[in-house]
Protein backbone atom coordinates (compact mmCIF):
# COMPACT_ATOMS: atom_id res chain seq x y z
CA UNK A 1 0.00 0.00 0.00
CA UNK A 2 3.00 2.31 0.24
CA UNK A 3 2.35 3.08 3.90
CA UNK A 4 5.10 4.12 6.28
CA UNK A 5 4.72 2.19 9.55
CA UNK A 6 6.68 2.78 12.75
CA UNK A 7 7.06 0.41 15.73
CA UNK A 8 7.72 2.26 18.97
CA UNK A 9 9.33 -0.73 20.68
CA UNK A 10 12.25 -0.52 18.21
CA UNK A 11 13.40 2.81 19.66
CA UNK A 12 17.19 2.90 20.23
CA UNK A 13 17.23 3.38 24.01
CA UNK A 14 20.86 4.52 24.10
CA UNK A 15 20.03 7.83 22.36
CA UNK A 16 19.62 10.67 24.84
CA UNK A 17 17.25 12.56 22.53
CA UNK A 18 15.00 9.50 22.34
CA UNK A 19 14.42 9.06 26.07
CA UNK A 20 11.15 11.00 26.12
CA UNK A 21 9.82 8.67 23.39
CA UNK A 22 10.72 5.41 25.15
CA UNK A 23 7.40 3.60 25.51
CA UNK A 24 8.98 0.46 26.94
CA UNK A 25 10.46 2.41 29.86
CA UNK A 26 7.35 4.46 30.59
CA UNK A 27 5.17 1.35 30.73
CA UNK A 28 7.74 -0.80 32.57
CA UNK A 29 8.10 1.84 35.27
CA UNK A 30 4.40 1.63 36.09
CA UNK A 31 4.40 -2.16 35.76
CA UNK A 32 7.22 -2.58 38.27
CA UNK A 33 5.33 -0.49 40.81
CA UNK A 34 2.01 -2.29 40.31
CA UNK A 35 3.64 -5.75 40.38
CA UNK A 36 4.66 -5.21 43.99
CA UNK A 37 1.12 -4.15 44.93
CA UNK A 38 -0.25 -7.27 43.22
CA UNK A 39 2.20 -9.37 45.22
CA UNK A 40 1.22 -7.65 48.46
CA UNK A 41 -2.43 -8.38 47.73
CA UNK A 42 -1.74 -12.08 47.06
CA UNK A 43 0.60 -12.49 50.04
CA UNK A 44 -1.17 -13.43 53.27
CA UNK A 45 1.27 -11.57 55.54
CA UNK A 46 2.39 -7.92 55.85
CA UNK A 47 5.47 -6.52 54.12
CA UNK A 48 7.04 -4.46 56.96
CA UNK A 49 8.34 -5.65 60.32
CA UNK A 50 5.87 -5.12 63.18
CA UNK A 51 6.96 -5.09 66.80
CA UNK A 52 3.92 -5.56 69.00
CA UNK A 53 3.10 -6.71 72.53
CA UNK A 54 1.84 -9.93 70.97
CA UNK A 55 5.14 -10.61 69.23
CA UNK A 56 7.34 -9.51 66.36
CA UNK A 57 6.34 -9.91 62.73
CA UNK A 58 9.31 -10.41 60.44
CA UNK A 59 9.52 -8.36 57.21
CA UNK A 60 8.75 -10.06 53.94
CA UNK A 61 11.70 -11.27 51.85
CA UNK A 62 11.35 -10.16 48.23
CA UNK A 63 13.56 -11.31 45.35
CA UNK A 64 13.58 -9.39 42.05
CA UNK A 65 14.96 -11.18 38.99
CA UNK A 66 15.88 -8.70 36.25
CA UNK A 67 16.94 -5.19 37.16
CA UNK A 68 15.79 -3.07 34.24
CA UNK A 69 13.33 -0.21 34.55
CA UNK A 70 10.58 -2.47 35.93
CA UNK A 71 12.92 -4.26 38.31
CA UNK A 72 14.35 -1.06 39.77
CA UNK A 73 10.87 0.36 40.36
CA UNK A 74 9.83 -2.92 41.97
CA UNK A 75 12.82 -2.73 44.33
CA UNK A 76 12.01 0.86 45.29
CA UNK A 77 8.33 0.06 45.89
CA UNK A 78 9.01 -3.08 47.93
CA UNK A 79 11.50 -1.16 50.09
CA UNK A 80 8.97 1.62 50.67
CA UNK A 81 6.55 -1.03 51.91
CA UNK A 82 9.18 -2.27 54.37
CA UNK A 83 10.33 -5.52 52.75
CA UNK A 84 13.86 -6.93 52.68
CA UNK A 85 14.83 -6.98 48.99
CA UNK A 86 17.39 -8.98 47.02
CA UNK A 87 17.95 -8.67 43.26
CA UNK A 88 19.83 -10.37 40.44
CA UNK A 89 20.69 -9.41 36.87
CA UNK A 90 23.14 -10.47 34.14
CA UNK A 91 24.61 -6.96 34.12
CA UNK A 92 27.20 -6.53 36.88
CA UNK A 93 26.84 -2.74 36.47
CA UNK A 94 23.29 -3.02 37.88
CA UNK A 95 24.71 -3.76 41.33
CA UNK A 96 25.26 -0.09 42.13
CA UNK A 97 21.67 0.77 41.17
CA UNK A 98 20.26 -2.03 43.31
CA UNK A 99 22.28 -1.04 46.35
CA UNK A 100 21.43 2.64 45.91
CA UNK A 101 17.75 1.69 46.36
CA UNK A 102 18.49 -0.30 49.51
CA UNK A 103 18.43 -3.75 47.91
CA UNK A 104 20.96 -6.54 48.36
CA UNK A 105 22.81 -7.69 45.25
CA UNK A 106 22.85 -11.47 44.62
CA UNK A 107 26.46 -11.68 43.54
CA UNK A 108 27.53 -14.39 41.09
CA UNK A 109 31.31 -14.87 40.79
CA UNK A 110 32.69 -14.26 37.30
CA UNK A 111 36.11 -14.25 35.73
CA UNK A 112 37.88 -11.01 34.83
CA UNK A 113 37.28 -11.81 31.15
CA UNK A 114 33.55 -12.32 31.69
CA UNK A 115 33.31 -9.13 33.71
CA UNK A 116 34.98 -7.14 30.94
CA UNK A 117 32.76 -8.71 28.26
CA UNK A 118 29.58 -8.03 30.26
CA UNK A 119 30.64 -4.43 30.85
CA UNK A 120 31.57 -3.72 27.22
CA UNK A 121 28.30 -5.14 25.85
CA UNK A 122 26.04 -3.55 28.44
CA UNK A 123 25.26 -6.97 29.89
CA UNK A 124 22.59 -8.00 27.39
CA UNK A 125 24.57 -9.33 24.46
CA UNK A 126 27.20 -11.40 26.23
CA UNK A 127 27.00 -15.18 26.51
CA UNK A 128 27.75 -16.45 30.02
CA UNK A 129 29.98 -19.48 30.47
CA UNK A 130 28.54 -22.80 31.61
CA UNK A 131 30.16 -22.31 35.02
CA UNK A 132 28.59 -18.86 35.40
CA UNK A 133 25.15 -20.21 34.50
CA UNK A 134 25.59 -23.05 37.00
CA UNK A 135 26.73 -20.69 39.77
CA UNK A 136 23.92 -18.23 39.05
CA UNK A 137 21.30 -21.00 39.14
CA UNK A 138 22.58 -22.19 42.53
CA UNK A 139 22.53 -18.69 44.05
CA UNK A 140 19.10 -17.84 42.65
CA UNK A 141 17.73 -21.23 43.73
CA UNK A 142 18.87 -20.62 47.32
CA UNK A 143 17.47 -17.07 47.37
CA UNK A 144 14.09 -18.17 46.01
CA UNK A 145 13.85 -21.05 48.45
CA UNK A 146 13.96 -18.53 51.31
CA UNK A 147 11.84 -15.87 49.61
CA UNK A 148 8.28 -14.88 50.43
CA UNK A 149 7.74 -13.03 47.16
CA UNK A 150 9.52 -13.32 43.80
CA UNK A 151 8.99 -10.88 40.94
CA UNK A 152 10.44 -11.71 37.52
CA UNK A 153 10.79 -8.92 34.96
CA UNK A 154 13.00 -10.29 32.16
CA UNK A 155 11.61 -9.64 28.67
CA UNK A 156 13.29 -9.35 25.27
CA UNK A 157 11.36 -7.34 22.62
CA UNK A 158 10.41 -9.54 19.68
CA UNK A 159 11.56 -12.75 21.37
CA UNK A 160 10.28 -15.24 23.90
CA UNK A 161 11.01 -14.36 27.52
CA UNK A 162 13.89 -16.30 29.11
CA UNK A 163 13.01 -19.03 31.60
CA UNK A 164 14.38 -18.02 35.01
CA UNK A 165 12.43 -20.11 37.53
CA UNK A 166 11.95 -23.85 37.09
CA UNK A 167 9.65 -26.33 38.80
CA UNK A 168 12.56 -27.78 40.77
CA UNK A 169 13.02 -24.39 42.46
CA UNK A 170 9.29 -23.76 42.95
CA UNK A 171 9.05 -27.11 44.75
CA UNK A 172 11.50 -25.79 47.39
CA UNK A 173 9.59 -22.57 48.07
CA UNK A 174 7.49 -22.08 51.20
CA UNK A 175 3.74 -22.52 51.25
CA UNK A 176 2.07 -19.12 50.92
CA UNK A 177 4.90 -17.56 48.91
CA UNK A 178 4.02 -15.65 45.76
CA UNK A 179 5.56 -15.51 42.28
CA UNK A 180 4.65 -12.58 40.02
CA UNK A 181 5.64 -13.39 36.42
CA UNK A 182 5.66 -10.06 34.56
CA UNK A 183 6.66 -11.83 31.35
CA UNK A 184 3.72 -14.25 31.32
CA UNK A 185 2.38 -12.71 28.10
CA UNK A 186 5.60 -13.39 26.16
CA UNK A 187 6.32 -16.98 27.19
CA UNK A 188 6.91 -16.53 30.90
CA UNK A 189 9.97 -16.37 33.16
CA UNK A 190 8.35 -18.90 35.51
CA UNK A 191 7.72 -22.47 34.48
CA UNK A 192 4.00 -23.21 34.69
CA UNK A 193 2.77 -19.60 34.64
CA UNK A 194 -0.35 -18.87 32.57
CA UNK A 195 -1.18 -15.35 31.28
CA UNK A 196 -3.91 -13.64 33.32
CA UNK A 197 -4.32 -16.60 35.66
CA UNK A 198 -3.25 -17.34 39.23
CA UNK A 199 -2.17 -20.92 39.85
CA UNK A 200 -1.58 -22.54 43.25
CA UNK A 201 0.96 -25.36 43.19
CA UNK A 202 0.73 -28.57 45.22
CA UNK A 203 3.13 -27.10 47.80
CA UNK A 204 1.06 -23.92 48.22
CA UNK A 205 3.00 -21.46 46.04
CA UNK A 206 0.88 -18.93 44.14
CA UNK A 207 2.06 -18.16 40.57
CA UNK A 208 0.49 -15.01 39.14
CA UNK A 209 0.70 -14.67 35.35
CA UNK A 210 0.71 -10.87 35.09
CA UNK A 211 0.44 -10.45 31.32
CA UNK A 212 -0.48 -6.77 30.95
CA UNK A 213 0.12 -4.90 34.19
CA UNK A 214 0.06 -1.33 32.74
CA UNK A 215 -3.60 -1.86 31.82
CA UNK A 216 -4.34 -1.96 35.55
CA UNK A 217 -3.09 1.63 35.75
CA UNK A 218 -4.87 2.58 32.54
CA UNK A 219 -5.25 6.33 33.06
CA UNK A 220 -1.60 6.98 33.86
CA UNK A 221 -0.14 4.49 31.40
CA UNK A 222 -2.27 6.04 28.62
CA UNK A 223 -1.08 9.54 29.53
CA UNK A 224 2.58 8.49 29.44
CA UNK A 225 2.16 6.55 26.20
CA UNK A 226 0.44 9.53 24.58
CA UNK A 227 3.34 11.77 25.62
CA UNK A 228 5.80 9.28 24.12
CA UNK A 229 3.88 9.35 20.83
CA UNK A 230 3.65 13.14 20.69
CA UNK A 231 7.39 13.44 21.27
CA UNK A 232 8.04 11.02 18.42
CA UNK A 233 5.55 12.66 16.05
CA UNK A 234 7.33 15.99 16.47
CA UNK A 235 10.36 14.42 14.75
CA UNK A 236 8.17 13.80 11.67
CA UNK A 237 7.15 17.44 11.29
CA UNK A 238 9.23 20.27 9.80
CA UNK A 239 8.46 23.82 8.55
CA UNK A 240 7.10 23.69 5.00
CA UNK A 241 9.07 25.39 2.24
CA UNK A 242 7.23 28.57 1.24
CA UNK A 243 7.98 31.94 -0.29
CA UNK A 244 5.89 33.67 2.37
CA UNK A 245 8.23 34.51 5.27
CA UNK A 246 5.26 35.09 7.59
CA UNK A 247 3.63 31.75 6.88
CA UNK A 248 3.45 29.26 9.73
CA UNK A 249 3.00 26.07 7.73
CA UNK A 250 4.28 22.63 8.76
CA UNK A 251 4.76 19.57 6.58
CA UNK A 252 5.41 15.86 7.00
CA UNK A 253 9.14 15.16 6.93
CA UNK A 254 9.96 11.46 6.58
CA UNK A 255 13.72 10.97 6.76
CA UNK A 256 15.00 7.42 6.94
CA UNK A 257 18.51 8.75 7.51
CA UNK A 258 17.37 10.15 10.85
CA UNK A 259 18.63 7.82 13.63
CA UNK A 260 15.22 7.64 15.29
CA UNK A 261 12.93 7.46 12.28
CA UNK A 262 15.21 5.00 10.51
CA UNK A 263 15.32 2.72 13.55
CA UNK A 264 11.55 2.70 14.11
CA UNK A 265 10.42 2.35 10.49
CA UNK A 266 9.02 -1.11 9.71
CA UNK A 267 7.75 -0.30 6.21
CA UNK A 268 8.57 2.63 3.93
CA UNK A 269 8.58 3.29 0.20
CA UNK A 270 6.95 -0.09 -0.53
CA UNK A 271 9.67 -1.98 1.30
CA UNK A 272 9.85 -3.97 4.53
CA UNK A 273 12.78 -2.42 6.37
CA UNK A 274 13.00 -4.98 9.17
CA UNK A 275 14.78 -7.35 6.80
CA UNK A 276 17.66 -4.86 6.59
CA UNK A 277 18.40 -5.04 10.31
CATH number at residue 108: 3.40.50.720
Which of 25, 103, 31, 37 minimizes the C-alpha distance to 69? 25
Enter the pTM of the model: 0.88
Is 258 annotated in the active site? no
Inside any domain, residue 127: yes
181 catalytically annotated: no
Of 61 and 242, more confident: 61
Contacts of 242 (CB under 8 A, 6+ apart): 249
| Domain extent at residue 143 | 24-217
pLDDT tens-place string over residues 8-26:
999 988 888 999 999 999 9
In a domain, 177, yes or no: yes
Is position 225 annotated as part of the catalytic site?
Answer: no
Q: Is 73 a catalytic site residue?
A: no
Across 222-226, average pLDDT: 97
Position 270 in a domain: no
Residue 33 annotated among the catalytic residues of the structure: no
For residue 39, give the nearest of 60, 70, 68, 25 by alpha carbon: 60
Q: What is the pLDDT of residue 127?
A: 67
Please indicate, yes or no, if residue 273 is contained in any of the structural domains: no
The answer to whether position 9 is within a domain reads no
Most confident of 9-23, 59-73, 90-104: 59-73
Residue 65 placed within a domain: yes
Residue 65: phi and psi, rounded to 5, are -105, 115
Q: What average pLDDT is seen over the chain?
A: 90
Which helix or strand (DSSP H or E) is residue 179 part of? strand 178-181
Strand bridging mode 5-6 / 265-268: antiparallel
Residue 135 lies in a domain: yes
* Confidence (pLDDT) at 158: 75
Q: Check residues 13 and 216 and name the one with the higher pLDDT.
A: 216
Q: Is residue 256 part of a domain?
A: no
Mean pLDDT across 179-196: 95
The one catalytic residue among 44, 45, 124, 222:
124
Number of H helices, E strands in the chain: 8, 14
Task: Specify the number of domains making up the chain.
Answer: 1
Amino acid sequence: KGATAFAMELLPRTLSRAQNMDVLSSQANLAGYKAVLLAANEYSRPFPMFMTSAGTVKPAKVVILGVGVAGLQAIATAKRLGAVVEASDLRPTAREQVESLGGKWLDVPMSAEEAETAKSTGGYAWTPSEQYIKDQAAIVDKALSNADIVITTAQIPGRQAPRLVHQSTIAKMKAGSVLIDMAAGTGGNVEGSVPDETITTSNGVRIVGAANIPSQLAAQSSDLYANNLVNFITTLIAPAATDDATANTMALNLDMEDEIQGALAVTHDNQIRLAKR
